Structures are given as C-alpha cells and as structure tokens.
Structure 1
Amino acid sequence: MKVLYVYQPAAPYLLSLEQRLITRISKETRHKVELWNWAKEYGISSNPMPDWAEQNRAQLADFHKELKKRAAEVDCVLIAQTGAIPPDIMSELPARVVYNTADDPDSSTTSSFPYLKSADIIAHAGVNFNATTRMGDEFKKRGAKRTILFPIGFYEEQFPTINDLEEQNARRDIDLVYIGHLKRGRLDEILRRYPQMVVHGRSLKLKHKLWLLVHGKRWVGPYNGNLAELYARTKVGINIHFSYGPSNTRCYQLNACGVAQVLDCPEGSSEFYQHGKEVMIYSNMKEAAQQIDELLKNDELRNRIALNGYHAARARFTRFRTFSRLLDEVEQD
C-alpha cells in the first residue's frame, strides 16, 4: 500500500525519530510510506487549531492544493492530528483518508469530533471515552465510518533494549517518578506522601506551580534531561491522565525501561496490560498510594511486574509494531 503521511511533530526531536521509523517501515514491510513534514514547508510554526485554519484558509490554500495533488498519487492519506485540514477539504481528498487522533475526552471537541465524518477511518490512541464507553464506539455514534485503536507506543531508538534487567534493577536508586502534565488535585497527596519523589511537569503556568507548592509542598519545573537515563534509575513510575484513556506515551515508555508502572484509567488499561502481572492499575489516588507502598516494600513483586511489563511493551507496543499493524488493518479494510 502506498501511503502519504501528513505529519507535523509535536516536538522538534520527534521528527527525526518518526522519519527513521517510516524509512524502516518502507524497507521492512510491504507498505511504502512518504512522510511529508508539511508545516515546515509552508512556514507554519505550530499545529493549527480548527478555528485558526478556518480564519486563515487563504494562507493554507497552497498546502491544500498540493495535498489534493499528492493524494491522487497514493492509496491512502494518513493525517497526524492537526486542525490545518478543514473537514470539507478532507472529504475531497482523492484517496482513502485515515485521521490519527491522540486526544483524550477533554480535547475531543477540537482534536477529533470535527473530522469524524470526513475521514474514512479514525485511528485513535485512547481506549475509553468515559467510564462506560469506548473511544471508538463514541466516535462511531458521532458519525465515524470506521475506527481503529492505534496505541502511540515507544521508539526503540529512544528507549533501547536492556541487556541485563537484573543488573539494571540493582542500580535503581530513585523510588518514584512522574514526568508529564500535572492536573491540580491529582498528584498533591502523592507528592506529600513521597518527599523523595522525582517530579517534573510540562507547560505549567505560574498559578499551577504555586498550587503545587502550597498543596504538594514542591516547586515543580520542566525536565530537560535524558528520559531513558532517568527511567533506568527508577523503581516505580506513576501514570496519570487528565480523565479517561489510557492514551499517553508513559503507558509504554515506563514499561520499556523496566519501571514498575502504577497506571490509572482502570476502564481501559486492561486493553493493554494485565493488572497485577504487567502493571498495577488503580482507581483513585488512595489506591495508587497503597500500590506504590507495596511495590517499594516488596522487591520481588516490583521486579516481577517490571520484568513482565518490560516484555509486554517490547512485544506489543514498539512504535514500529503499532504503526505497521495500523497500516495492515487499513489495507485489509
């Protein structure tokens, strides 16, 4: 299958990782994929929101014209989440259109809902939309023709294989880690309970930093180091989503580094991992704290879950595997 992959990296370092992944897929599978970093070509510095794209159609007109031209030359156009392609333009593309969204329910109104009826297939990263409804089912109810679960996975290049897990575990000197977005009221209790915890946030406004300082007794800043090196030293990693999921990269990165993961989103997490074997899955922060306590006190349990989780991530959730599976499903549809 010949695929045009319309892509804009969420962060600059991701572009080279994704480019090398696509090169490998084109070499090692039957699919021929061209990654088009369209935003750089047309001078767009950040991923546009739908409202901006509507208001600036003239600025995007050349991009839309070239997109239609390129779409006529392929079997499938795979669009990474963006607001730059309005629904009517998407509907006019002369190829099968797969729209990839990594949103959680909090951002669906702008990230996915506008495009559900325009794409032939919606490839979504999250499992659950709410406590009782799967993301794919919600999308179909709102007009999607077909949906495919497409876990984000992790880059093997970024998180390489660990040659000796037992030796690695003996060198882990950080009890607990959380790196990611912080939502007020979710991590406060954990921060107070584990003063030794390593925590860093992304895109934190001053008011959120002050909230965490008051309620979590911690000044939280960004993490600028090597994530794989930090996780290599970590015993337990807690994962927190804004609402439902799971959908974030921590789901895969923590396990890929041999970290015992304490994972939220009990409604959907069992789709990816077995509770008590590959991860620990919690329903509330009190339960999360109990699981963290148990893992930190019981080396045998922690190492067993970390080992099983490591092998599960490597077997099922490398970015190469998840991306290749998506293309296979699209081709067979």
Structure 2
Amino acid sequence: MKILIAGDWHSEIHEESVYQAFQQLGHEPIRFSWHQFFKHQKKLGRLAVPLLKAQNKYMVGPVVNRLNRDLVNIAASEQPDMVLIYRGSHIFPSTLRELSRSLPNAILVGYNNDDPFSPNYPGWKWRHFLASIPEYDLMLAYRLHNIEEFKKFGAKRVELLRSWFIPEANHPINLERVDREKYECDVVFVGHFENDGRIDCLEEIVRRGWKLKLFGHSYGWHKHILRSDILKSFYPLSTVWDVDYNKALCGAKVGLCFFSKLNRDTYTRRCFEIPAAGTLLMSEFSSDLAGLFEEEKEAVYFRTTEELLEKLEKYLGNESLRNQVALAGYEKVYESGHDVKSRMEQLLQIVSEMITTRLYNN
C-alpha cells in the first residue's frame, strides 16, 4: 500500500515513527513535512523570521496556503492508497475536498495526539482541524472521550488509536559509568509543567529524602521551580530526547507519570514508554489506564499526594516487589500490542477493509 503521511514532522516519536513502522510492515510510505516551510532562509532577511513564526502559530498566510497547495500536488503525483494527516492544524477543509476529488479511491485519515476539543486551548488553535473533520473518511481518536466529540463534529467514521512506544527507542539498558551520575535516581519525571499540583508532589518527594531527577522544557518549569526553595536546585532544567530520554527512564527505580489536564488525558504516551524501558510505572489513577495495566500488578497508581508518598515508600523499600511489577508491565506492553508497529497494523486493517468496501460498492 502506498501511504502519504503529512504532518509537522518536528519529532521522531510522531510522524517519523509511523513512517518507519509502515516501512517495516512492507508498505510504501511517503513523507510530506510542513515544518521546513517555516524555516528561515537568509535571502529573505531578518523580517522573515517573525512573519514565518506568526504564520506557523496562527496557521494563516501565503506560506500556509503554499503548503496546502503542495500537499494536493504531491498527492496527485503519487496517487497514494491512503493519506494520513497527523495533527492537521495547518490543513484546510478545501484541501481535503480537493484530495478527495483527485484521489477518489484513497482513504483520508486524520489523527491528533492533542485534544482539539479541550476548552483549555484558545479558539483559533484548532479551527482548521475542527472544520475539516467531516472531510476525512476516517478520524482516529487518541482518547476515549474524543470518539463521541468527533461524531458530533460530523465525522464519517471514528476509531480509537492510542499512542505507542517505539521498541528501538524505549527498552531496558544498563547505564555506563559516565551516565550514572546524571540519570540514576529513585524517581524520575520527564515532562512539561502544568499547574495541577505536580509541583507539590515533587517537593514532597525531595522532602522525604528520595533522589529525584526532573527533566522538561525550561520555559514551562523555570519560573515555578525558582519559587520553590526545595526544587530551585534543579535550575536550569534540561530536556532529554531519544537515547538520553531512554537513559533517564532506565536510570530510575520509579518512573512518574502525570496526566495533561490541558489535553484532558486519561493516559499518556509515557504510560507505555516507562514499562517498555523496564522501569516501574507509577501514574495518576484513571479508570481508563487501570483497564490497560492491572493495579499493583503491572503498574502502580496514586489518587492523592499522600497515596503517592505511601506507594513510593512501599515500592522503593522493596526491590523484589518493584522489579516484579516492572517486569509485568514490560511484558504487558508487548503482549497487548502497545508498540508503534502493532498500532499501525491495527490502522492498516481498518483502512484495508474500507478500501475493499469502497471498491465493492463502486
């Protein structure tokens, strides 16, 4: 199957992992990245930088128009069987209608790992995406509660497709001596800042004397940790990506997981990445996540700061029990197909059925 994948393509865990999975499954993926449309070129001068940033942020202007035209043109040239638009914030409804006209037998698929229906986003953020929902043949919901929301916005068909881990990137390793000082710890949290009480949890972890490692975007964390007498020693905070991200997970006895309230999450990508690294997952509780990992057997959950501290006391003080749950979680992510290749097999099965039905009806 020939598959055109369109997206911002700014990281390895999103569009690129999908591309690689399709390739491993024996299909023919094609890249269409719009990230480079907004890269500054010296010949355009200094004024181009703020103009490009503004067009990218607000999804309006000649560069956005050009990327939509180019997507239509490459699709017409390549004639793919499926067009997968990943987080289509910049794609117009008119572009999808043109794709449908030029590719009458192709299946148009939309996917978004953010929550476009969340009231916590500004109204303009997802305007193109929301207006385009009725134009897709298939919408993939990242969260259970998004399924009905897509239907209310006129989606023709909606299927749940959760996020994933990447086996080549998320796996157990033994840290080299040079990495131990940087990554070995009792508890690690890797993620962005949200004002949802996670600061209080992290402060209590340090106050109890456990060794904490904290990684994340400086622009979200810095002003908050600088106000904390307990956490300001983490300044300046750094991010970890790819190999370093895996080292950070593998260096910890417990991997901490908070849900994004911005995206109304009931699970997150780290719920798969942490067990895949062979580390104990200790996450905020949700009934959704508890349906994926059995509590106290494959993962550990907390509902309050007090419960988090009690669970840390229990599992940091019992290596055998901690390793038992971590191993069960590791086995679960593979047995249940939470890896990217299994997710794409799931998608391909749905799309293949849709193509067969369309051909039969025609």
**For 1:49-64, what aligned pairs fall within 5 Å after superposition?**
52-53=58-59, 55-56=60-61, 58-64=62-68
Of structures 1 and 2, the larger Rg is shown by: 2
> Hey, what's the Cα distance between the residues in 1 that align with 2:29 and 2:259?
32
Specify the alignment match of 2:167 in structure 1: 156
What is the Cα deviation at residue 39 of structure 1? Answer: 3.4
The more displaced of 267-276 and 192-201 is 267-276
Residue 230 in structure 1 maps to residue 241 in structure 2: no
SS of the residue 2:238 aligns to: coil
Equivalent of 1:116, from 133, 143, 161? 133
Specify the alignment match of 1:187 in structure 2: 198
Equivalent of 1:303, from 323, 329, 336? 323
Specify the alignment match of 2:25 in structure 1: 28
Q: 1:119 to 1:173 in 2, by over 3 A?
A: same
Q: Which amino acid aligns with 2:73?
A: K
Specify the alignment match of 2:97 in structure 1: 91
Q: 1:276 to 1:214 in 2, by over 3 A?
A: same
What is the Cα deviation at residue 229 of structure 1? Answer: 1.5
Specify the alignment match of 1:82 in structure 2: 88
Identity of aligned residues (%): 21
SS of the residue 2:4 aligns to: strand
What is the Cα deviation at residue 101 of structure 1? Answer: 0.2
Specify the alignment match of 1:211 in structure 2: 224
Q: 1:185 to 1:70 in 2, by over 3 A?
A: closer
> Can you list the C-alpha shifts for 1:14-57, whole angstroms capped at 9, x where unaligned?
18x9547634533534x4322222432x345799888732x31x
Specify the alignment match of 2:257 in structure 1: 239
SS of the residue 1:122 aligns to: strand
What is the Cα deviation at residue 4 of structure 1? Answer: 0.7
Q: 1:294 to 1:137 in 2, by over 3 A?
A: farther
Q: Which consecutive unaligned segments of at least 5 residues does structure 1 have?
A: 128-133, 164-171
Q: 1:101 to 1:228 in 2, by over 3 A?
A: same
Specify the alignment match of 1:327 in structure 2: 348
In 1, are the aligned partners of 2:254 and 2:280 still within 8 Å (CA)?
yes
In 2, are the aligned partners of 1:7 and 1:80 still within 8 Å (CA)?
yes
In 2, are the aligned partners of 1:123 and 1:149 still within 8 Å (CA)?
yes
> Hey, what's the Cα distance between the residues in 2 that align with 1:209 and 1:97?
41
What is the Cα deviation at residue 136 of structure 1? Answer: 1.1
TM-score, with length taken from structure 1: 0.81
Equivalent of 2:114, from 83, 103, 109? 103
Q: 1:24 to 1:213 in 2, by over 3 A?
A: closer
CA RMSD of aligned residues (A): 3.0
SS of the residue 2:248 aligns to: helix
Q: Which consecutive unaligned segments of at least 5 residues does structure 2 have?
A: 41-51, 101-105, 175-182, 355-362
> Can you list the C-alpha shifts for 1:165-193, whole angstroms capped at 9, x where unaligned?
xxxxxxx9521110101212422222222
> Hey, what's the Cα distance between the residues in 2 that align with 1:67 and 1:186?
42
Specify the alignment match of 1:2 in structure 2: 2
Specify the alignment match of 2:35 in structure 1: 39
> Hey, what's the Cα distance between the residues in 1 that align with 2:348 and 2:229?
44
Q: 1:283 to 1:10 in 2, by over 3 A?
A: farther
> Hey, what's the Cα distance between the residues in 2 that align with 1:113 and 1:306?
39
SS of the residue 1:317 aligns to: coil
What is the Cα deviation at residue 259 of structure 1? Answer: 1.0
SS of the residue 1:312 aligns to: helix
Q: 1:49 to 1:222 in 2, by over 3 A?
A: farther
Number of corresponding residues: 310
SS of the residue 2:187 aligns to: strand
Q: Which amino acid aligns with 1:60?
A: V
